[in-house]
Structure 1
């Protein structure tokens, strides 16, 4: 389906505030758009993601234009400073086609900050112009910031506030233009260069920015804060373990990864090939000692799928050769029928290319299905022509006798003019039956064209390829084969009895006679078998589509909702060590939390393991993927408190496209109260776990996130004359931090971030001890005018069509 995503970063706001202030206003305006099928959303700390799903067939660029237009109205309803909504990349759930990591041989020179900068400002910018690429997400590493870490005691001593510091920094970091100045015959451009310099010089520039004059002494930023480099607040990381040249597990630890997103509608294989062509130029642009190494390539799956279908086509072709040779017993006739196969496939592929049908698994699978039917018309035509050439009818016999004067007109030396006539007559006799036979086959596949949605996306390419192949085969059988036969059979031929056909024909004659003598028994047996087949229908398993073996296993690991990023990193590396004890694993990559804006909005309590596997023929621990997954789960379960869900990357994406949930089965429970949803959801979860065949049953986490809540005491604030806004600014600006402009170096841009020193905000007691200054100059502890305590809240709030919901998910 056609989806447009709207992302909004909300500085530090909890899930409930994000839902009320950002998610709902955006959702409300989207329902006025035409062809909207549904609107899904997720609200979590610091992030709102809304997915607008349009009806199938809607042009993606038209849909994005409509969403962009309505976003203007939504922005007016979002409070100023809360967040600015923007559209996500023009991609689909299957758009993550290529992934890589950046490595260095010199970690001291290129740390995780430097590698992330190289990915953001070198690799990403060089990949973006590649045709078919819509975005490149940076995942893992740490984003460099110029940090101003404030000392609250010095701020109080100098009578300064956080907003005054940030305003002073912004006022001392700007360039200006003054147009032109004529100097004789020259014209000079007037420019003011006042940007903060980059690197260590930039730190010195920021530290020297004046703030105020205190008793004749200039107070500068460095007098109130430590100015240094530091990492941006992050909610995601990537680790990887792989095998070295000797096959031994090698833990690379935390790495910087990039995810290439394919533009919707672009060809996957062509996009990946273009990315690979760009890699040498990217490697040249990277400094010595830093290398780009791919670890996930969807083109491998495409190649395997095409190879599988091509192999099936070749095997079918060989079987056709054997069968035709055994039954026709004539090399020229066999070659004529075989030529019809590549001609029919070639014509079908030309038509597919003209109508924009790609050579994917389903379309090529349709050709594999059709290859046996494609030769039917040509076989019938050739067999009938062959019968005319070996035993012409009486009219042809008399014409040949009159022309040659010979009693044996099939003699090659005498029959010089009757061959073309015989072929023409034979073609006319079977032309109509062949036409209607092929037409009936095409009509059988006609209902597939009426399928809509996901079913239509899956089966219509197959139906199109089969119908085009059959049309091409009909054209070949009626026109090409007779024409080629006139060149291949210029002289008479004599029929050779096939050693295979003789016993088969004798057996058939005996069987036919017996069947005609026992008609009631034959009909009764057929009806009995038909009834028995109907009785077996309820026992047949059903599924939407068979699972495709992608060669990569995706394990979703869920930790407690209050888990920190460091905790998740530690768990991920332990799980990687367990996975690499299996010889089938080539590498395992852990994706913790979420990447930058535009990726999957996962919490840090979610770890996605991507396990690259050897070919199944080389496995020793298990015979198939299901058995291997069972062994993996058993070994990883030694770590308590973890929930595992096994799937494959593309299969997971398909499930998410269908229902918005990364699982095969999704039960959605709607209701206004989160507590009620959680209670009923747990009951449903227990029931689903008791159903045979379910695995990985889990309810979405909608409770249990640890939150440090600061709730103002309005009576106490009123006594001191302190507004609530001052308390909230202390929380958002002093504790959370505020951006004070950027340092620009070429293409690179790094935020200047102002925030309290870590020691003054790293505990509940430290935050309670923060000082507020009343209008009369009195100093008041935050803990005296507000309740500061740890509470439990929802880590995320999901909504479908403006209704809160919780999902109980399961794989089968």
Structure 2
């Protein structure tokens, strides 16, 4: 770039900089803000509810046909499904980059054409993801019953919140669903000589409206309607079932019509309320959580003040905005202190506030370029894309230009504009190449897929555009500003601090250059020591992102009923609620009405929400709380439990299909064999130190009362099979036969036997069935009624059944714990033919990411090597600079060991950044040494010492800025700092050794190589 032209157009450049600032700020204000990246994969669920159907029926008649129908759609990564009593959920997980709208359309198009059994209804999940539950609230009242509150939630509150822009759905949990019920006794039907089927048919046919077309009346036409919908209990009682001997038999003659509640498969508890109603507001995929929450909370306020009756209120107890605010405050603090440290370093080394200010001004301008492009390409802003920005790296190019211009001004050999042109031009090529190398070091992040790609791609995007902008700004804005802030003839002196350092460094380097073997052997020894020490590093996928809550999943024996589960939940909730750290406790028992969480009443999920840290007593905290709760839960017989966090729990399930951080999946056709193998595997897991929260997702043992119809006997007695099915479905099961409309509300109408006639197996066996000749026979005469064990769940993945064993790892790194577990399982568990085992969850994600890094990192280093060859024109100099990479890793590895951090994907990304910075420093040094050697005919050692001395200041500055810019993130333990801390630690620690080795070892190595090249060969 022609710097003279830049100086001629300096006013235009300043105006463009102001315009860039305005555009960047405007774009930033429009960016969707997230606490954490939306790491959940794109999934679409086909949810089918078939009330009363057994697990085996669901798998055979619903799940498998749905799976087969969906198998042909494009862009799918994996199919998973779970079948259980009355419910099938088939989850389609799409590949990264697939369009959400297209994916939903593909799934919806297939399920619309699938033929399902009568009574089964299918739909797809809302357009949200596993991180989309942004607000949880409880509907409270001083007087209303759970049934009344449930009706308000389902029809009043739901309708209002569903119309809020950005809300695709509201999930309801708890409360009693209002249902009209006709309670009959077999004796009453027999006494009036009517059948159950006659009753069902009469009620169904008496609850319709019909259209009679149009009736011309004079010059008008009337719409003809036959209004016959049921309006009241009296209407239901008056329905005529049959006419016997001229006497009508009405519903009220054979049974009682009451208002009851539908079969409950879940309950919700909150604080002291053991039967509460909860609503969960979902965020539409791609929407701005903060903006949607503002609109939702405004609507909640309107509902509480204007729309809901006095005494009924909505109380939000979980608000994602709290987490957003906490994490963004963490980002703000790390950014503020990072910029402050950058400014201090700039002033110390440049000795001039104006010069430091010009370099620092590159930071907001470069970020504005990133913000503008993030807005254009819809990249969200979160604690990774913003919190892991290294301001020191962004200003490196500007530092190189400013330092070289300042050096020319300090030497006073040229005028101001000549110093600017000369100082910028001298470093232009090296600066462009070195910054390009750093951008190349970030390029693997763009190629990553899965969770790690979702998390770190935004960071690479932000840094990539910021670095590109920094090159342009360093060659335009910085020279233009220098021409404004400095005056011709103004005196400039290097800071005394720099002169003192140089006075120490130059003779020290001269001393080391004369002793290359000792220096290089020491460096190699340190490298070998570090490599050996690195074997002690544990491995994990990603640090757990702190959410300031606990999500505790308690699993009881699968055979428990709702009453027992609720009684135990009352005890556990009371224990949790009385802990000093806890502000609120909520409990979800079983599953919600919409079927989006396929589980049973044996499953309890506790949301434990914390007080502010200042409100907790001394010695209290999350780790201490978990230890106390573990100790308490261990006293409860037959209870399995898992500790997680709210978002983390949802994401783990979305990634692996299992409610746990990690899982072992055993695939095979026979459920009994799978169960036996799972018990062998869990025995091995329990032997491994660090593995906790282990448990089997039991699939067998569901007590089932089978009414096996004998068609031969039915034919003998003249019994219609459909009459037996109606008895099972309606009278015993209570399935709705029609719906009652009340304005905008819809409630089911069911026919049920009196509880005394269906509360025991014997009472069901003795039920009478009508025959063709008008007589009645016991149910046992036409069917075999017996209790047997069946499956609770049937899990499937890619068309194969599997059983899952969940586990977590605490007090030890994930990689070594699972490695030990895999070895034990391999040695002690023998799988039959046709059965396979997979390790899933965070461990599987870690292995996938590590494989990608093993492939991408060498390719990246190769690309950097090619850039270096292009920059230097020879392999020698490129290789010397590349040797900075292993030496840079020394500091990163040692600081991980010292701080007790494991090697995670976050730390791996830190090493990539570190390698780029280390190579940049090498380029700065070697480029200048080569420039001196071409124009100076002194001894090569003297040239190297002189060149290194002149480049000491920019090398120190770039290294310190890169390290100290991330120091606040490296030492922070605030909420939101977990993911960026390993990355920052690696860079901070790595820059210590990189600086020392670049300034001390690299010149010695280069001098040793160049000296050997110039040494005369003996004859």
Please, what TM-score do these two structures have when normalized by structure 1?
0.91
Structure 1 SS opposite 2:395: helix
User: 5 Å matches for 1:16-415?
Assistant: 16-75=56-115, 78-79=116-117, 81-106=118-143, 110-183=144-217, 187-197=221-231, 202-241=232-271, 251-283=272-304, 284-367=306-389, 370-393=390-413, 396=414
Contact 2:580 2:620 in 1 (8 A): no
Q: Which of the two has greater helix per residue?
A: 2
Deviation at 1:495, TM superposition (A): 2.6
In the alignment, which residue of structure 2 is the partner of 1:412? none
Larger mean Cα displacement after TM superposition, 163-172 or 680-689: 163-172
Figure out how many residues of one structure are paired with residues of the other and give that number: 768
2:669 partner SS = coil
The answer on 1:9 being equivalent to 2:49 is yes
Preserved contact between residue 662 and residue 807 of structure 2 (Cα < 8 Å): yes
Partner Cα separation in structure 1 for residue 75 and residue 661 of structure 2: 26
Residue in 2 that maps onto 1:413: none
- Name structure 1 gaps, 5 residues minimum: 242-250, 397-417
Further displaced range: 163-172 or 313-322? 163-172
Secondary structure of the 1:582 match is coil
The match for 1:605 is: 602
More deviation, 747-756/299-308: 299-308
- Counting only pairs closer than 5 Å after superposition, residues 445-524 of structure 1 correspond to structure 2 as 445-524=442-521
Q: Give the conservation status (yes or no) of the 8 Å contact 2:410–2:494.
A: no
Instruction: Give, in whole Å, the separation in 1 of the partners of 2:768 and 2:526.
Output: 87
1:719 Cα offset (Å): 4.2
Could you report, residue by residue, the CA deviation over 1:250-295 in whole angstroms, capped at 9, with x for unpaired residues? x122210011122222233332222123222222211111110111
> Residue 709 of structure 1 is aligned with which of 695, 706, 709?
706
Q: Which residue number corresponds to residue 765 of structure 1?
A: 762
TM-superposition CA deviations, 1:497-526 (whole Å, max 9, x none)? 534334433332343233224322221111
**For residue 825 of structure 2, what is the aligned residue in structure 1?**
none
Comparing 9-18 with 56-65, greater Cα deviation is found at 56-65
SS at match of 1:37: strand
Distance 1:566 1:622, change over 3 A: farther
Structure 1 residue 774, shift from structure 2 partner: 1.9
Structure in which a larger fraction of residues adopt strand: 1
Per mean C-alpha deviation after superposition, the further-off stretch among 791-800 and 358-367 is 358-367
Deviation at 1:345, TM superposition (A): 1.4
* Other structure's SS at 2:385 match: helix
Compared CA separation, residues 740 and 13, structure 1 to 2 (3 A):
closer
CA spacing shift, 1:19–1:720, aligned 2, 3 Å: same
After superposition, the Cα gap between the structure-2 partners of 1:253 and 1:737, relative to the gap in structure 1 and judged at 3 Å, is closer
Cα drift, residue 549 of structure 1? 0.7
CA distance in 1, matches of 2:656, 2:221: 64
- Give how far 1:26 is off: 1.1
Cα distance in 2 for residues equivalent to 1:184 and 1:719: 62
Q: Distance in 1 between matches of 2:618 and 2:569?
A: 22
Deviations 1:465-487 (A, max 9, x none): 11111112222211111111222
Cα distance between partner residues in 2 of 1:163 and 1:239: 39
The change in CA–CA distance for 1:530 and 1:616 in structure 2 (over 3 A counts) is farther
Query: Offset of 1:734 from its aligned partner?
Result: 1.6
Question: Does the 8 A contact of 1:36 with 1:52 survive in 2?
Answer: yes
Q: How far apart, CA to CA, are the structure 1 residues paired with 2:148 and 2:404?
A: 76
Question: CA offsets, 1:13-49, max 9 Å, x none?
Answer: 1101111111111111221222322211111011111
SS at match of 1:540: coil
1:113 is displaced (CA, Å) by: 0.7
Q: 2 CA distance for matches of 1:594 and 1:183?
A: 55
Q: Where does 1:395-794 land on structure 2 (aligned, <5 Å)?
A: 396=414, 418-616=415-613, 619-620=616-617, 625-713=622-710, 716-794=713-791
* TM superposition score normalised by structure 2: 0.73
For residue 808 of structure 2, the aligned residue among 786, 807, 811 is: 811
Deviation at 1:9, TM superposition (A): 0.9
Secondary structure of 1:132's match?
A: coil
Aligned equivalents of 2:603, 2:697: Cα separation in 1: 11
In structure 1, C-alpha distance between the alignment counterparts of 2:689 and 2:619, rounded to whole Å: 23
Q: Deviations over 1:530-551 (max 9, x none)?
A: 1111112222111111001101
CA distance in 2 between partners of 1:145 and 1:738 (Å): 11
In 1: Cα distance, 2:340 partner to 2:182 partner: 74
The answer (yes or no) to whether the contact 1:390–1:492 under 8 Å persists in 2 is no
Shift of 1:237: 0.9
Distance 2:777 2:156 in 1: 49
Give me the whole-angstrom Cα distance separating, in 2, the residues matched to 1:596 and 1:219: 36
Q: Equivalent residue of 1:264, what SS? A: coil
SS at match of 1:541: coil
- Please report how far the alpha carbon of residue 750 of structure 1 lies from its aligned counterpart in structure 2 after TM superposition: 1.2
Q: CA RMSD in A?
A: 2.0
Equivalent residues of 1:306, 1:364 under 8 A apart: no
Give the Å deviation of 1:713: 4.8
Native 8 Å contact 2:706 2:788 kept in 1:
yes
- Secondary structure, in 3 states, of the residue corresponding to 1:666? strand
Secondary structure of the residue that 2:492 maps to in structure 1? Answer: coil
* SS state at 1:364 partner: coil
- Of 349-358 and 210-219, deviating more is 210-219
Residues 116-125 or 592-601, more deviating: 592-601
Query: CA separation in 2, counterparts of 1:557 and 1:799?
Result: 23
1: CA distance between counterparts of 2:215 and 2:440? 80
- Give yes or no for contact 1:7–1:85 (8 Å, CA) kept in 2: yes
Contact 1:44–1:795 under 8 Å retained in 2:
yes
Q: What's the secondary structure of 1:134's corresponding residue? A: coil
1:136 and 1:260 in contact (8 A); partners too: yes
Spell out structure 1 runs of 4+ moving beyond 6 A: none
Distance 1:511 1:341 in 2: 35
Q: Offset at 1:731?
A: 1.0
Offset of 1:811 from its aligned partner?
Answer: 0.7
**C-alpha distance in structure 2 between counterparts of 1:730 and 1:117, whole Å:** 29
Gaps of 5+ in 2: 1-40, 810-1019
